[in-house]
Structure 1
Amino acid sequence: MARAKRRSNRSTAQAPGASPVSSRASTPEQQPAVSHAADSCPGCTTESSASFNQFEKENWIRCDVCKTWYHWRCASTEPPSFLSEDEKKDYTIDRIDKWYCKPCLEKEPSRTITLKAPARKSDRKRNYQDYASLNLGLASDPNRWLRMLENKTFEPENFKRMHGSDVTVEWLEEDEDAMTEPILVEKPDGLGMKMPPNDFTVEDVAELVGEEVPVEVIDVASQSASPGWNLGKWADYIELEPEAREKIYNVISLEVTGTKVGDLVLPPKLVRDLDWVENFWPGTRKGKGHAYPKVQLYCLMGVGSAWTDWHVDFAGSSVYYHVLRGSKVFYFIKPTPANLAAYERWSGTELQSSWLGDMVDSEVTKIVLTEGNTMIIPSGWIHAVYTPVDTIVFGGNFLHSYSMPMQLKIRKIEMATQVPRKFRFPLFSKLCWYVGDKYLRDLKTPAGASYPSRVLTSLLALADFLVSEVRILERGSDQAKKEVKEQIPADRVKDPAAVARELRWRVRLAAGNASDDEGSAVKTNGTGVKRKRALEDDHRPRFKNFRPRQWDNTVENAEVGASRVVKAHRPAEDDGTWKERWVEWTDGVADQDGAEAEVKSRTETLVRVRRTGDGLERQRVERVIESWVWH
């Protein structure tokens, strides 16, 4: 198949494969004089060179036989005579399938230039909603949003400022409020991250990633995607003076993992420590040739006056956000249940022509980020972003084990508002299965595993989600079953029902809740009245292949102690506080005004031992039982 390339003459026109000549020239006077002989195009003529505007992009096409590159303007003067009139009208470089240069055609006349079959068109109307474009049906006015802000008031910003060295997992474990609201790190020192140099430009992005790489560009006025862009064209647009830009555009979804730009970026250490993709997705299933969630390394490039309307990052993922050059203004709405409900009503409806901040039950908070600032945005926070000057930002999304309830809540909102799959967190369910499987294996180890209460709460939400996926496998429609099954990683999860339900059971045990009732755990007591089956009433294994660890030897002993008489408050029948009083009872705080009571005690001791991989385990459990009798 013929290869076509599109190159920009802002850094000298050169043939594909030629040695790169870099130039930062931005005006005709500053650009070096380059003869068209340097283009290495055998088809160049004086006439074709004179007619070409050096500030336009150059198109190249390669002969499928001799592999020689030609300017398309030199090779496409006339369509081949064998084409029909309709095909001649559509004779463009994008339609070429097989192409041969004139010498190769003359050498072998049987060769034929062919065109690609035209794309099949459908008459069915489609309404594509970009996740970033949350303003359907609005007027094409890029300044409308700014005018909307003129009469708005904002809550004084009081987000926590932190030193990079303090943003650690230990901070998360010790501070209950950690990762519940945005934090700002004014300097990157101590964050353990790596960023490109401060003089890094959009031109550098285009050169390192590839000028021909397609990029999704957002038209700010309509908040919808503008088709036909690649990084070379985007770099040309950025180089224009602001008054020369016909429209205001924004790039917010260029993921650079696996590129030379990606090699220059490393997320903060906290992000890498928490990120599910980093820690739970198998390393053997990442990289080239494997589909996995690539959402860790985004390069965001916006021009002055660009803005992104209210949104929540997909699947409630958290975000790290570093301003390399320029500035950003964030507007935040706290994700309370009422605010999220308002956001759901607002999303994808005619209400999007209105300011969401007027529909929520809390004030909008405004914060300005400048060059060198890093912000971490927790799960679920609703935000809009304004770009006052041309800006380059590096950031990324990550799911983690402290925010699963919020992450699932945002995912439900996405489904309720019919966000297309393209704009949701990629492979979300498969990632959840990998995470659930790993936590289950950790909980099943002989030593067990202990987690902070926030993590246990999050894991319980994860387990409930996986159980809901299993129920679809058991009771859903054929299509629903197919979709769920496709997301289960067969390389790790052989029995999804057992994994999901045992994970839930073990997490509940770890959290101090022994109940694992689900449907079948409800039965009648013989009189038609339903009751929940107590855990101790049923000693059958609950999960396939689950066997409780056995003790090698157990010794029980009971010893009766001496009686004693103390004065204590006698609990009255109608005294509802006696339970709390007697749970915390100690002889040291005996009620001297109380009645005399005889206290008899006995001590029961249980000692058991078993072999372990490292030696022996000995467990001693001692219970003291007291009997109180008033005279």
Structure 2
Amino acid sequence: MRRTHDYHRYCKSCVLEKPSRTITFKPPARKSTRKRAQPDYVNLNAGVEADPSRWLRVIQSKPIKDDEFRRMNGSDVGLEWLENDENAMKEPIVIENPEGLGMKMPDTNFTVSDVADIVGHETPVEVIDVATQSNTPGWTLGKWTEYYNKEPSTRDKVRNVISLEISGTLLADRVLPPRLVRELDWVDKFWPSTRRGKGQAYPKVQLYCLMGVASAWTDWHVDFAGSSVYYHILRGCKAGIPVFYFIRPTPANLAAYERWSGTELQSSIWLGDMVDEVVKVTLYPGNTMIIPTGWIHAVHTPVDSLVFGGNFLHSYNVATQLKVIEIEKTTRVPKKFRFPYFTKLCWYVADKYFRDIKAKEEFSPRVLESLVALCSYLVSEVRAMERGSEAAKRDAKEHVPTDRIKDAPALARELRWRVRLAAGTTSDDEGNERPLKKALTNGNGSASVNGGVKRKRSPIEMQGPETETSLGRVQFRNFQPKGWDVVEDLPKEEETATVQAVYPEEVVGLQQRWVKWDDETSGEDGGRQALVERKREITVRARKIDGGLERQRIERVFEKWEWSRVSDEESVEKGDVEMKLEDDVPPRQTDIEPHIDNQKDEEAAKESQEGATDGMELVG
């Protein structure tokens, strides 16, 4: 029923009384027939600004540094470089000549028309209207080719294609990522090859064809899941010269990006004003660039360009990859525009590393550090399975590849234990996976738990020393590290030695000199005579392993150093030395007494010793 103010309404009797009275409906409100642009989340996630020329004008007035990134030969970009250079894959690199990269690209005369001919003119493609930040529906590669081949002055709008993934097409046979990318890429290394066939679901992010026209601008963004990126600027006809702007992924800069991304700040504030610095890199036809994990970047395309590139995750900076995942969740990036099957891929990675580490394969500290972060993420997934809501449990379980992994909780926790053992850490407490918080204290000055609320101790916490393992007390479920078959404490050893050493005048000197003291050093010039009492405790433990025996010898040495009160002018000779002590204090016994007959003799001996010497407490 229409509202009463939409028409002139009369009752039936009034109409019968005067037929000229008619019910007249109000005409409907005018509605625009113009198509409204729908938001395009690909570009919103990437931060494409509605007015690209606006930011180009802003750049002219901003401090932009020229890059100092490395220019490398293609043959030098390999695993050996990554393992031996601590800065490898931490900053973008530019390879000016593709020779030696182990990469395959189309011929130098390859064009956008060739892309359409090979992939198919009727292939749907997402075309971005840069001015409205919207996806324009109804475009095919054939239609895009017609637009792209027009003279720039005759194009109706500035458009962009940034998401044409060509895996599984004939064009993919002509494109091969750089050798290093293939050697690092988690999808290539860990996703089962039998599950990467045509029609199967797997992360297809390795092969992108990007086609931009003059004046296109892609605003600040981080590639999904912090994935690293390779870009190759194709040579030949209509190859462009893109300009990249970079922001280093420091914690402060990533925090600024998180505040800026997806908010009203994105349309009104230049992100460069919120960070420490912006660096510019200009690429030329034939150049290849590799952008490492988490780097924030924007792209300006001064002329029409044709670029091939792709995304890849790797094992050399997992912590930053996971940090970007957190930012995506915080800024509510739709799942459709995140790295596809990310958690499932992490499980495949964990399964392979678990088998490798169990087989005694060694990994660099950098990889082990990344695996610690990966284990933390997967253990958090396990907690969701065990303690989360029903929806969270269901979601976490759906991400586990059951074709390879039958017991995800056990795998995550045992891998974490093995990685910590390989990395030389010793904690098995799941609480260590959480960010450290400032400890609260109770009235007695000791740390309180749960904000001062008393909690029950778990059965595992109440167990005694018999639950000790090689890494301490086990505090997680579903996995019990193998215990030691034999643990034996050898008899304690005690010895006394007299050495010549410089008396530490200050605490700073103590830290610098004595922490690095060499036990074999017999003396130092200008030093005093010091008595060193040393106690040594040795524990040996052993257990059977596959194909042999594992044995550990743990030695703890406790030392106490005491200096005599001699003047600096007195010389000290080696061997037995008779020392002149201040205030006529009886000389100190240099040998430890074998026994003291009674309590009085013991007290007297202590008083004599305390009056004659200074200890490591620096009472000198």
TM-score with structure 1 length normalisation?
A: 0.71
Match of 2:615 in 1: none
Alignment map for 1:22-421 (pairs within 5 Å): 128-133=39-44, 141-324=51-234, 325-421=239-335
Tell me, what secondary structure is at the counterpart of 1:198? coil
Whether 1:586 aligns to 2:519 is yes
Shift of 1:133: 3.1
Contact 1:333 1:357 in 2 (8 A): no
CA distance in 2, matches of 1:226, 1:427: 27
CA distance in 2, matches of 1:574, 1:150: 54
CA distance in 2, matches of 1:550, 1:206: 65
Whether 1:438 aligns to 2:352 is yes
CA distance in 2, matches of 1:136, 1:320: 20
Amino acid at match of 2:117: E
Amino acid at match of 2:468: H
Alignment map for 1:14-29 (pairs within 5 Å): none
Distance 1:148 1:606, change over 3 A: closer
Distance 1:383 1:545, change over 3 A: closer
* Structure 1: 5+ residue stretches without partners: 1-124
Match of 1:452 in 2: 364
More displaced 10-residue stretch of structure 1: 475-484 or 263-272 = 475-484
Deviations 1:226-268 (A, max 9, x none): 1111111111111212122111111111111111110111111
Distance 1:216 1:187, change over 3 A: same
More displaced 10-residue stretch of structure 1: 560-569 or 200-209 = 560-569
Deviations 1:55-86 (A, max 9, x none): xxxxxxxxxxxxxxxxxxxxxxxxxxxxxxxx
CA distance in 2, matches of 1:127, 1:580: 69
Greater Rg over alpha carbons, structure: 2
Contact 2:247 2:278 in 1 (8 A): yes
Deviations 1:528-561 (A, max 9, x none): 999989997733676646552877x999987979
Distance 1:209 1:549, change over 3 A: farther
CA distance in 2, matches of 1:533, 1:585: 42
Whether 1:597 aligns to 2:531 is yes
Amino acid at match of 1:595: Q
Match of 1:499 in 2: 411
Shift of 1:396: 0.5
Distance 1:571 1:533, change over 3 A: farther
Tell me, what secondary structure is at the counterpart of 1:587? coil
Deviations 1:27-71 (A, max 9, x none): xxxxxxxxxxxxxxxxxxxxxxxxxxxxxxxxxxxxxxxxxxxxx
Match of 2:602 in 1: none
CA distance in 1, matches of 2:165, 2:46: 24
Contact 2:48 2:218 in 1 (8 A): no
Distance 1:629 1:320, change over 3 A: closer
Residue 499 of structure 2: which of 529, 548, 566 is its match? 566
CA distance in 2, matches of 1:163, 1:627: 54
Whether 1:487 aligns to 2:399 is yes
Distance 1:536 1:164, change over 3 A: farther
Distance 1:450 1:250, change over 3 A: same
Deviations 1:128-150 (A, max 9, x none): 551323588975x4533333333
Distance 1:392 1:589, change over 3 A: farther
CA distance in 1, matches of 2:324, 2:493: 59
Shift of 1:153: 3.0
Shift of 1:338: 2.1
Shift of 1:405: 1.1
* Structure 2: 5+ residue stretches without partners: 1-35, 434-446, 563-589, 591-620
CA distance in 2, matches of 1:236, 1:188: 30
CA distance in 2, matches of 1:416, 1:611: 46
Distance 1:219 1:129, change over 3 A: closer
Tell me, what secondary structure is at the counterpart of 2:289? strand
Distance 1:336 1:258, change over 3 A: same
| Aligned length, in residue pairs | 499
TM-score with structure 2 length normalisation?
A: 0.72
Contact 2:371 2:419 in 1 (8 A): yes
CA distance in 1, matches of 2:286, 2:109: 12
Match of 2:436 in 1: none
Contact 2:229 2:309 in 1 (8 A): yes
Tell me, what secondary structure is at the counterpart of 2:265? helix
Tell me, what secondary structure is at the counterpart of 1:370? coil
Distance 1:493 1:366, change over 3 A: same
CA distance in 2, matches of 1:523, 1:534: 21
Distance 1:535 1:146, change over 3 A: farther
Amino acid at match of 2:355: R
Using the aligned pairs only, state the percent identity: 53
CA distance in 1, matches of 2:561, 2:544: 40
Residue 467 of structure 2: which of 538, 548, 570 is its match? 538
